[in-house]
Amino acid sequence: MTKKQLQDCKKRLYEEKSKILERYLAKEETQQRLEEESKEPRDWEDIGQMTYTEELLDNLSHIEINTLKEIDIALKKLENGTYGVCENCGSEINIERLKAIPWTRYCATCAEEIERESGTYMPSYGFEPMLTEDIEIEREDLGEA
């Protein structure tokens, strides 16, 4: 991996960390507002919506906290020169993968294997484009003029 690629990854890691921290602060403000609103009497629909929003915010923060931890680990790896090396097999992680997920610890093959073992694997079924000339449209509202 080139020095420029490493700098680009480091920049992306800091940018993502900053975005997460900004969202966290906004989440905290939203939760404070929800707490203040919950002191006022509401109907069941409002209470249900507030509960749903609070649960959603808690789940988002859990995911983002884990991402922050992964970002910090990646930044430490950048410092000690082990960034971009798969923790499972020791091979170099593809630069395209690092551009997409700069905090990843594993190459694509090992990540897939780990996901299969943990039960979080979601297979890709690909995409087959539909050709428009193969589509026949019959509409009753478009009669002959």
The residue ranges of every structural domain in the chain are: 3-122
Distance CA 80, CA 82 (A): 6
Q: Of residues 2 and 136, which shows the higher confidence score?
A: 2
pLDDT of residue 127: 59
pLDDT of residue 22: 83
DSSP tag of 131: P
> Which is nearest to 75 in space by CA: 13, 26, 31?
13
Kindly indicate the confidence band of residue 77, based on its pLDDT and cuts at 50, 70 and 90: very high
pTM value is 0.62
pLDDT greater than 80 at residue 16: yes
Topology (CATH) of 3-122: Four Helix Bundle (Hemerythrin (Met), subunit A) (1.20.120)
